[in-house]
Amino acid sequence: MTQDLSQAHQHEHQAVPSDLALRVKALESLLVEKGLVDRAALDALVDAYEHKIGPRNGARVVARAWSDPAYLRRLLNDADAAISEMGFGGMQGEHMVVVENTAGVHNLVVCTLCSCYPWPVLGLPPVWYKSAPYRSRAVIDPRGVLREFGLQLSEEVEVRVWDSTAEVRYLVLPERPSGTEGWSDEALSALVTRDAMIGVAKISLPRVGSAA
């Protein structure tokens, strides 16, 4: 990074970061100094969550479950094992449960207390998942919440709400859209969205037929 110092710039010194940023810097430098954390490991972790761990992982799990009935059974019976088969695991991925959407049942995931979320398959939760209104209303009025996400469910469909905790985290297995028979796992996984795996959306085919 180079700064053009010849520019007529008023302040000669660096802008002081926000109070929050300074508090984190203080903590980090104290803990690094004591050898309690390693700065390179911190950077690697952040990099992984920014670039590698995200809903594409979950989408691959869903696509395989759609196309491989034996895998689907393993996923529903022992999600931890089936997900680690795909190479995903780690923090907040222990004790996962996969809940399957069907024509008659729609599943919705929330964490009413804080923000528990299946990190290895979905990455970190979106802001709305952590907001107080979602955390409280998903339980009280799931159909209303779904409507606000643009999902109008028929009254015949049963809505099941799953409250994630530090012990159990849920992943919704969305319904496979019709018209995708014979598609490759890769093409299928491209259809799968994060919101569908939280349960606030369904999966539909893109209007223009650009499958893969």
Partner 1 sequence: MITLSQPDSIDGTENITPAPSFPQDDGGPVFAEPWQAQAFALAVKLSEQGHFTWKEWTMALADELEKAANRGEPDDGSHYYEHWLAVLERLVADQGLSDPAAMLARKEAWADAYRHTPHGKPVELPTTIERHPAPSTKPQRREIV
Residues designated as active site: 111, 114-116
The pattern of x and - marking residues 74 through 103 that bind partner 1 according to CB under 8 A reads -----------------xx-----------
Q: Which of 70, 127, 208, 212 binds partner 1 (CB under 8 A)?
A: 127
Stretch that binds partner 1, among 58-66, 73-81, 142-150, 184-192 (CB under 8 A): 142-150
| Under rule CB under 8 A, residue 207 binds partner 1 | no
- Report which residue type is found at 212: A
Largest pairwise CA distance in the chain: 70
Residues 158 and 45: beta-carbon distance below 8 Å: no
Residues 177 and 203: beta-carbon distance below 8 Å: yes
From the CB of 155, what's the least distance to partner 1, in Å? Answer: 15
From the CB of 55, what's the least distance to partner 1, in Å? Answer: 8
Task: Give the DSSP H or E segment for 208.
Answer: none
Stretch that binds partner 1, among 33-41, 57-65, 101-109, 179-187 (CB under 8 A): 33-41
The C-alpha torsion from 104 through 186 and 205 to 124, rounded to 10°, is 70
| Closer residue to partner 1 in complex, CB, 57/67 | 57
| Under rule CB under 8 A, residue 9 binds partner 1 | yes
- Closest of 171, 50, 79, 173 to residue 116, by C-alpha: 171
| Under rule CB under 8 A, residue 39 binds partner 1 | yes
Q: Which of 148, 163, 175, 185 binds partner 1 (CB under 8 A)?
A: 148
| Under rule CB under 8 A, residue 204 binds partner 1 | no
The C-alpha torsion from 159 through 93 and 83 to 172, rounded to 10°, is 10
User: What is the spatial distance between Cα 55 and Cα 69, in angstroms, rounded to a whole number?
Assistant: 22
Q: Which residues of 84-109 are buried (b: 16+ CB within 10 A; e: fewer)?
A: eebebbeebbeebbbbebeeeebbbb
| Residue numbers at the binding site for partner 1 (CB under 8 A) | 1-3, 5, 9, 11-31, 33-34, 36-39, 41-43, 45-46, 49-50, 54, 91-92, 113-116, 123-124, 126-134, 136-137, 141, 144, 147-150, 165-167, 194
